[in-house]
Amino acid sequence: LDENEGEVASLEVRVKPQAHIVDDTIRVWQAQHEFMKQTITLSHRSQQQQPVLRLASDPVAQSPPSSSSSAPLTVRCSSDKASFDTRAGAPQDVLIRYPCGAAGEVASFCLALYTDRFLHSPVEIWQFLVHSV
């Protein structure tokens, strides 16, 4: 608004929503009514490349951390039931816990990883499928 309280300019923005691109789909089979506990390690080959996803059972994921430091991750989840935590350093770990249901149930949720606390720079989006057996 200007001095005479008239409109000086207006801007119209049209946003077309799009579906997220899932980088990895992780299937986990867990006993019924127990907690699924999964640790995922992100190993950065270099600062310019995307991180490499390694499950905790992978022997390469058990290697000692390197001396280079990485930016801290911010994690957001689509499920209120899931709890998660991150461990800073290189390589970075993402710890995930999810309560499983009765046998035969399949739970699905997504986990989004960002390199900043403002959720501006996404790194990866993972889809989890938890099968209760």
- For 94-115, how does the pLDDT look when each residue is reduced to its tens digit (9 = 90+)? 888 999 888 889 999 998 888 8
What CA–CA distance (Å, rounded) separates 69 from 89?
Answer: 6
For residue range 10-29, what is the model confidence (pLDDT) as tens digits? Answer: 889 998 887 778 888 889 89
Cβ-count burial 37-57 (b if 16+ within 10 Å, e if not) = ebebbbbbeeeeeebebbeee
Q: Report in angstroms the alpha-carbon separations of 106 from 37, 38, 113, 129, 132.
A: 16, 16, 23, 7, 6
Residue type for position 38? Q
Cβ atoms < 10 Å from Cβ of 73? 20
For residue range 37-64, what is the model confidence (pLDDT) as tens digits? Answer: 888 887 653 344 444 454 444 433 333 3
Answer whether 0.75 is exceeded by the pTM: no
Through-space distance between the first and last CA atoms of the chain, rounded to whole angstroms: 63
